[in-house]
Amino acid sequence: MQTQVKAQQDKVTQAAEKKARKLFLGSLLLSGLIIVHIVYLARTGGGILNTIRSFLPVVLLWSLTMTAYAFYVLASIARERAQALAESITDTRTGVFSLSYLRSCLEQEHRRAVELGVPAAVVYVDMVDLDRVNQDFGHAIGDIVLKAVAQLIADRVRTGDVVGRVGGDEFAVIMPEAGLREAEGIVRGIVGAIKGYQLELGKRGQIDFLGCRTGVAVFPAEGNTPDEIIAAARDKMARPAATGKE
């Protein structure tokens, strides 16, 4: 994950540096033309001091312009690097974190669990009605529902928890320093929010009472590696007793 982010940031930086080089070369060219013109006027009888005085306002204006533009280039680099970082860790369809960022966070929590003995919970949420929504109302409405569910999940987790889209209609929540009981309490809130979701579509009807399945697994009791904890959460999600849908 960090390698991907750095690669995108480097690409943005290289583009900004290319702009800066063009600016520098243009500045050198214009400065050279000004010097040549000053020498020409001095030799044709204007006098070097008088010529310099006449060009001083132009030189000052040029210096201020180049300084302002240099700050603009630096600000552009910072802004574009931040945008590249945001795009690399965000799922564009829902606005929550991407799968690659989820895996990065999961690896970090695994290291903490092993080195410090700090637990961490992983929650899986699978929407079971999105296919029906897509079939009955179209994929555009399905995307609206998918994004709304992602926001419902994000609104009901703790500060510091990481919500991401695994793929399709599945989401995962990484809960640092959370045990099974605390995670299950969060899951109940998520399930209730999803079941209570409604979307009015006028004459086309209404979308409501969405169903979902959930699974919870905890480091290190139910997995010694990130892949094991993911598999444990998925296995629980597949069993009716572990689902959130009633």
Per-block average pLDDT, block size 10, for the chain (246 residues)? 47 62 66 65 61 62 68 68 68 89 86 84 91 90 93 94 92 92 94 90 82 90 81 75 38
What is the C-alpha to C-alpha distance for residues 124 and 68, in angstroms, rounded to an integer?
50
- pLDDT (0 to 100) of residue 169: 92
pTM of the model: 0.65
Last residue of a domain, one of 45, 67, 89: 89
104, two tokens: 């990065």
Do 127 and 198 reside in the same domain of the chain?
Answer: yes
218 and 225 Cβ atoms separated by less than 8 Å: no
pLDDT given for residue 62 in this prediction: 66
Is residue 231, in this structure, part of any structural domain at all?
Answer: yes
Token code pair at residue 18: 């290319």
The tokens 């009791």 sit on which residue?
A: 221
What's the pLDDT score for residue 211? 87
Distance (Å, whole) CA 121 – CA 113: 11
Domain range for 204 is 99-242
The count of structural domains within the chain is 2
Element (H, E) at 171: strand 170-176
pLDDT of residue 158: 94
What pLDDT is stored for residue 4 in this prediction? Answer: 41
Q: How many angstroms separate the first and last alpha carbons of the chain? A: 37
For residue 26 the two structure tokens come to: 């243009």
* Separation between Cα atoms, residue 8 and residue 84, nearest integer Å: 6
Cis peptide before 220 (omega within 30 of 0): yes
Task: Supply the pLDDT for residue 47.
Answer: 59
Query: What CATH number does residue 160 fall under?
Result: 3.30.70.270
User: What local confidence, expressed as pLDDT, does residue 3 receive?
Assistant: 43
Domain boundary among 52, 71, 89: 89
Note the pLDDT of residue 245.
42
* CB burial of residue 124 (10 Å; 0-12, 13-18, 19+): buried
72 and 133 fall within a common domain: no
Taking the CA atoms of 100, 103, 105 and 111 in sequence, report the sign of the dihedral they define. negative
Q: According to the model, what pLDDT value does residue 33 have? A: 67
Is residue 77, in this structure, part of any structural domain at all? Answer: yes
Q: 138 and 231: one domain?
A: yes
Last residue of a domain, one of 28, 56, 89: 89
Q: Are residues 117 and 72 in the same domain?
A: no
* Burial class for 34, CB neighbours closer than 10 Å (0-12, 13-18, 19+): middle
Q: Which long-range contacts (CB under 8 A, 24 or more apart) does 109-117 make?
A: 109/174, 109/176, 109/219, 110/219, 110/225, 110/226, 110/229, 112/176, 113/219, 113/220, 114/220, 114/224, 117/220
Residues 104 and 226 in one domain: yes
- Quick one: 104 and 72 in the same domain? no
Q: Report yes or no on 106 lying in a domain.
A: yes
pLDDT of residue 44: 66
At 16 the three-state DSSP class reads helix
pLDDT at 96: 92
Same domain, 6 and 74: yes
- Could you tell me if 38 and 124 lie in one domain? no
Quote helix, strand, coil % in the chain, to nearest 5. Answer: 65, 15, 20
> Same domain for 192 and 133?
yes
What pLDDT does residue 240 have?
40
Same domain flag for 131 and 217: yes
Which amino acid makes up residue 36? V
